[in-house]
Amino acid sequence: MKKITFLALHLGYGGIEKCISNVANLLCNDYDIEILTTYKLYEEEKYKLDDKVKVTYLTDVKPNRKELIYDFKHFKILSFIKECFIAIKVLFLKKRTMINALKNNKSDIYISTRIYFNNILSKYGNGIKIAWEHNHHHNDEKYIKQFTNSCKNLDKAILVSKDLCNYYGYLFKNNNIKCECIYIPNFINNTPDRLTDLNNNNLISVGRLSKEKGFIDLIDVFKLIDMEDGNYSLNIVGDGLEYDRINNKIIDYNLTRKIKLLGYKDQEEINDLYVNSCLYLMTSYTESFGLVLIEAMSYGLPCIAYSSAEGAKDIIVNGYNGYLIENRNEHEMAKIVLDLLKNKDRLAELSRNAKITSEKFSAENTKKYWLEILGD
């Protein structure tokens, strides 16, 4: 049985981490699977792994970016200096432990999940070397160059959207980079047997509370909805550095009874929230794929997203299973939400189509792609 080793930063809460866990579970009956991960952020992995998947934690340290920012903003000079030394140690161990692990590891296939690890794998890995790119470049020339350069000595690059696959395939060819670009979409583990009956007034959004997810803008959208019709509520699921900023805006708008920041929830809790919602809203500035859209659709939730979330274009078909809003137009998003909420027949039609869409991204369908590129 061939061995596959994934290179991961951590296995905590996040889209990349969820994808790593899903694919490791998907392939563990056909391959010997190991995950080399730099940090152990929690006592247990946030996404359940099959017992056949081996996890090797490379360090006993944790990144301290949050502490550094806090000390800097609050002029805690001595504490800031101390955290700087800790940060240097963390960065040193992050690189050194992964290099040592690769030197001592004997795998047939290595799959890197970040540009940082692409570069290390390129130099120290043996066997088939694959980059698995989860982020959209969002026309950032610096990021595009970094990813392109990191793939020069790799064998394959797996992209989670057709747009990214075509983009980098063309770029690699023009720059004489032999790394093969392959499109493999993300997927949902299980097709749920529960569906929302749409008989509620709850909106939902799920994701890391970071700037690129645009939750601050979602609060503005909901304010417009609430000004027109005060019968609706919004649940936001996730943790992150933007929590205080988002919460303060909710307070400023006097919407604390209507908008709930629920923090981290496990998958079963999120699934219960999907069933008790009627629309999924996404205001991300950028998304390479948008796995949460597929999850929401599997429960019959139509999805409305800004078109800036590029990966959503592979999933949302305007007027079929949801809507893509151009130019981050918050008034247009609020209008479409209100129109759908007042037209239950139209909402039900989109709901049925959303469920059909989600079935295209099943584990069974996606596994065929992986087996084809990995070989027997």
Task: For 163-199, write each residue's pLDDT tens digit.
Answer: 899 999 999 999 999 999 999 999 988 889 899 999 9
Fold identical between 3-187+362-374 and 202-359? yes
Domain ranges of the chain: 3-187+362-374, 202-359
Q: Sorting pLDDT into bands at 50, 70 and 90, what band is 13?
A: confident
The tally of CA atoms less than 13 A away on the side-chain side of residue 15 is 25
Torsions phi, psi of 37, nearest 5?
Answer: -125, 135
Beta bridge partners of 318: 322
User: Domain 202-359: which CATH class?
Assistant: alpha beta
What residues form DSSP beta bridges with 362?
188
**125-to-47, 97, 147 alpha-carbon distances in Å:** 27, 13, 17
Question: So what's the pLDDT on residue 375?
Answer: 82
3-state class of 282 per DSSP? Answer: strand
Residue 289 has pLDDT above 80, yes or no: no
Residue 288 has pLDDT above 80, yes or no: no
b/e 10-35 (16+ beta carbons within 10 angstroms → b):
bbbbbbbbbbbbbbbbbbbeebbbbb
pLDDT in tens, 257-267: 999 999 989 88
Please provide the size of the chain in residues.
Answer: 376
Query: pLDDT tens, 304-321?
Result: 999 998 888 889 999 999
Rg of the chain's alpha carbons, rounded to an integer? 21
Q: What pLDDT is attached to residue 125?
A: 93
**Token code pair at residue 107:** 């795998």
* Residue 70, CA atoms < 13 Å, CB-side half-sphere: 9
CA end-to-end span of the chain, whole Å? 8
In the beta sheet, which residues pair with residue 234? Answer: 203, 259
pLDDT at residue number 245: 97
Question: Does the CA dihedral 167-22-371-357 come out positive or negative?
Answer: negative
**Residue 46 reports pLDDT greater than 90:** no
pLDDT surpassing 90 at residue 143: yes
Which has the minimum average pLDDT: 90-99, 180-189, 282-291? 282-291
Whole-angstrom Cα distance, residue 260 to residue 234? 6
pLDDT at 43: 86
Distance between CA atoms of 369 and 360, rounded to whole angstroms?
Answer: 13
The fraction of the chain above a pLDDT of 90, given in percent, is: 84
Q: Residue 44: what pLDDT?
A: 83
E-state strands within the chain: 3-8, 32-37, 54-57, 109-112, 128-133, 156-159, 180-183, 202-206, 233-237, 259-263, 279-282, 303-306, 322-325
Distance, in Å, from the CA atom of 220 to the CA atom of 325, rounded to the nearest integer, reads 15
Span 333-345, average pLDDT: 96
Residue 64 has a pLDDT of 92
pLDDT at 130 over 80: yes
Phi, psi (rounded to 5 degrees) for 297: -65, -30
Closest CA to 112 of 202, 19, 29, 6: 6
Q: Kindly tell me if the per-residue pLDDT of 376 is higher than 70.
A: no
Q: Which of 145, 137, 142, 140 is nearest to 177 (CA)?
A: 145
CB 239 within 8 A of CB 208: yes
**Architecture (CATH level 2) of domain 3-187+362-374:** 3-Layer(aba) Sandwich (3.40)
Residue 348 has pLDDT above 70, yes or no: yes
pLDDT in tens, 209-238: 999 999 999 999 999 999 999 999 999 999
